[in-house]
Chains A and B, each alone.
Chain A
Amino acid sequence: MTLATLAFALAALMMVGGALVVALTRDLMRLVVGLGVFLLGVAGLFLFYGQAFLATAQVFVYVGGVLVLVVFAVMVVHRSNGGRPVLTSRHDIGAAAVAFGVSGMLILSLRDSVGGWEPVAGQGGVSLAEELLGGHIVVFELLGVLLFVALIAVLVIAGSGERR
């Protein structure tokens, strides 16, 4: 087993393990921890494919930002509820059949897209900044506008309840 395969297996294990915790646990804080492990696994796979900037952004934005936001939301919601954060779910065969039917459909439809199936080390992403600030500058600016609009929407949605 080469080092690259070992790195891929480790990141994949984190991804699947975190996703299984999210799908199966009944405790809300364990779900948040599972989501964090999943997001770290995603960052590891980005790193494996040579996208170091994306991996860093994933850790900063998701594990450092969105996950903390989820923890705050859990605290706010369950403080107002006054109850223990326990998840309810309706596990049934139909939902599992639909979900994993979609998985199988994805595998069958994409299996011919790429010739090589083995995980390979990715190429370097050193020219990402030139790409973003050169040919894709409009997209980059639009992303900033999108984040700004989302920030205002969050303030309007979450702040509107304070005045009541």
Chain B
Amino acid sequence: MSMLVLCSFVFGLGLYVVLTRREIIAILAGVELMLGSANVLLIGLGSLSGANGAVIGSIGLVVLVVAAAEAAVGLALVVSLSRRSKRSSIDELLEVKG
């Protein structure tokens, strides 16, 4: 129960950060909180249910790599946006032009 409450609370904190912050870097940090807590929940539930540790580790590694790639692309978008508008607020993305 402690692991489930912990991961759910941290997931909620990440969602709160995503909903309330305006800086894109802070929003990315909130997404990292959500992904990290979901990965811990996956590993913890797999471990508590007695599943094969290697399979759980493989799936956790997939989540970790996808999250790292997401963070890298998101930060590249932040840098590109700051070059265009000299700001890094999410309000700059309200009007997107092709």
Contacts and interface: CB of A to CB of B under 8 A. Distances in A.
Interface residues of B, number: 71
A1 interface: no
B71 A69 contact: yes
B76 A87 contact: no
Chain B interface SS verdict (over half): helix
B29 A22 contact: yes
A58 B3 CA distance: 19
A104 B9 CA distance: 8
Contacts of A80: 82-83, 86
Nearest to B56: A51
A15 to B, nearest CB: 6
A10 interface: no
B64 A57 contact: yes
Contacts of A62: 64, 68
8 contacts: A8-B2, A16-B9, A49-B47, A77-B88, A99-B16, A117-B2, A120-B47, A139-B58
